[in-house]
């Protein structure tokens, strides 16, 4: 566990996974299927984590592939706008496309459409992950979508091996998206393997339940992984979270807000958690800062643009009631 904390405290992360283009209906409250205008910004789980870390004063580099078209260049430019290191982006031509998400800032009957046709982020190869200078980073982060298809599945497991050889801890956000996988059984098997090979695992009750073969078994799965010396954060939505670390179970609440959308919360939680640990804060406080980041993001339009800066996070914590009791 100390190696994990020491790695995070370097504040410099190699992040594997997708970048995407988000288009969200404007103004807030407009249904996507009735909108006459949309705002565009950076999206995609791993890209969001990168942006969130940078806005909180950390460093991050995204390792992925982007399409050789206007949408791919838009995402690259937005990554740079947020301060993300783009040296490990590979540009691919042909029919490969970056992800596109179309959604709205309406919590009731929320609509999210994700286009993943010929997804370019699945085209990360062994050669791509081998050119990363792992020694320059403190930790590796990945979101689970990278494991949904080849060659990125095998190459990311190779990146895990490369990270271990360089002494880097592995941080895994389960991030299960059924539409990306060929079958639920393949997803369960592969995500379970990824969890076994990670040092810090973050997921919600449904994701741990999925890995365990039933939502009622999710908490037992989290405890099982923690018993192997891993740090595990088991998120339960409105019920808060349970953090398993060093044989202890830490329960934390949430910061209630009026949400305008459900997406982006997990990415912001991860960024807030890691930034707080990197700042040397106690684990319970770090989880609460992650929870506050999640609340901030769901209360505003967009994902990457809604990620808070350190000043915005501190202001939220100083003025907002919470956390809830657990």
Task: Flag whether pLDDT at 161 surpasses 90.
Answer: yes
Label residue 140 by pLDDT band (50, 70, 90). Answer: very high
Nearest to 192 by CA among 240, 161, 165, 224: 224
Average of pLDDT values for 266-292? 97
Cβ atoms of 222 and 208 closer than 8 Å:
yes
pLDDT over 80 (residue 326) = no
d(CA 172, CA 127): 22
pLDDT score, position 62: 98
Task: Kindly provide the b/e burial profile for residues 140-149, where b requires at least 16 CB atoms within 10 angstroms of the residue's own CB.
Answer: bbbbbbbbbb
Q: What is the CA 223 to chain-centroid distance, rounded?
A: 22
Q: What is the pLDDT of residue 214?
A: 83
- The model's pLDDT over 67-92, given as tens digits with 9 standing for 90+, comes to 999 999 999 999 999 999 999 999 99
Q: Please give the average per-residue pLDDT across 247-267, as a whole number.
A: 95
Mean pLDDT calculated for residue range 169-185: 93
The predicted structure's pLDDT at residue 315 = 98
What is the predicted pLDDT for the residue at 196? Answer: 96
Question: Dihedral of CA 307/309/310/315: which sign?
Answer: negative
pLDDT digits (tens, 9 = 90+) for 181-193: 999 899 999 999 9
CATH dotted code for 2-311:
3.40.1190.20
pLDDT for the residue numbered 321: 86
Average pLDDT of the segment spanning 149-173? 98
Query: Of 288, 241, 243, 231, whose CA–CA distance to 5 is shortest?
Result: 231
What is the pLDDT, as a whole number, of residue 1? 77
pLDDT in tens, 199-219: 999 999 999 998 888 888 999
| pTM of the predicted protein model | 0.97
| pLDDT above 70 coverage of the chain, percent | 100
Listed by start position, the domains of the chain span: 2-311
pLDDT at 121: 98
The pLDDT of residue 322 is above 90: no
Please report, for residues 33, 45, 73, 106, 265, the alpha-carbon distance to residue 301 in angstroms, rounded to integers and kept in the order given: 16, 16, 22, 9, 12
Query: Residue 94's pLDDT band (boundaries 50, 70, 90)?
Result: very high
pLDDT given at position 213: 82
pLDDT digits (tens, 9 = 90+) for 21-55: 999 999 999 999 999 999 999 999 999 999 999 99
Neighbours of 130 (CB within 10 A): 12
């Amino acid at each position: 566990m100390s190696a994990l904390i020491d790695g995070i405290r370097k504040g410099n992360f190699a992040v594997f996974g997708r970048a995407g283009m988000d288009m969200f209906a404007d103004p807030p409250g407009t249904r996507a299927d009735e909108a006459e205008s949309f705002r565009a910004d950076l999206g995609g789980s791993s890209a969001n984590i990168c942006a969130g870390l940078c806005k909180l004063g950390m460093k991050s580099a995204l390792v992925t592939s982007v399409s050789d078209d206007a949408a791919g260049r838009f995402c690259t430019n937005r990554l740079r706008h947020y301060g993300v290191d783009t040296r490990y982006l590979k540009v691919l031509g042909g029919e490969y496309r970056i992800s596109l998400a179309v959604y709205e800032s309406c919590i009731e009957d929320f609509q999210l459409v994700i286009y993943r046709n010929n997804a370019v982020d699945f085209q990360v190869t062994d050669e791509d992950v081998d050119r990363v200078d792992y020694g320059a980073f403190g930790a590796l982060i990945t979101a689970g979508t990278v494991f949904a298809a080849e060659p990125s599945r095998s190459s990311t497991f190779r990146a895990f091996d490369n990270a271990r050889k360089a002494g880097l801890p592995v941080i895994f956000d389960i991030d299960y998206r059924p539409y990306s996988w060929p079958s639920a059984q393949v997803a369960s098997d592969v995500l379970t393997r990824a969890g076994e090979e990670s040092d810090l695992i973050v997921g919600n009750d449904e994701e741990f339940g999925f890995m365990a073969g039933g939502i009622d078994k999710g908490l037992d799965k989290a405890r099982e992984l923690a018993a192997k010396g891993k740090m595990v954060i088991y998120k339960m939505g409105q019920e808060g979270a349970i953090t398993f670390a060093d044989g202890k179970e830490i329960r934390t609440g949430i910061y209630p807000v009026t949400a305008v959308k459900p997406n982006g919360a997990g990415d912001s939680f991860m960024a807030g958690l890691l930034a707080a640990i990197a700042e040397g804060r106690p684990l319970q406080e770090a989880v609460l800062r992650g929870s506050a980041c999640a609340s901030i993001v769901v209360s505003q339009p967009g994902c990457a643009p809604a990620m808070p800066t350190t000043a915005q996070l501190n202001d939220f914590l100083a003025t907002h009631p919470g956390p809830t009791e657990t």
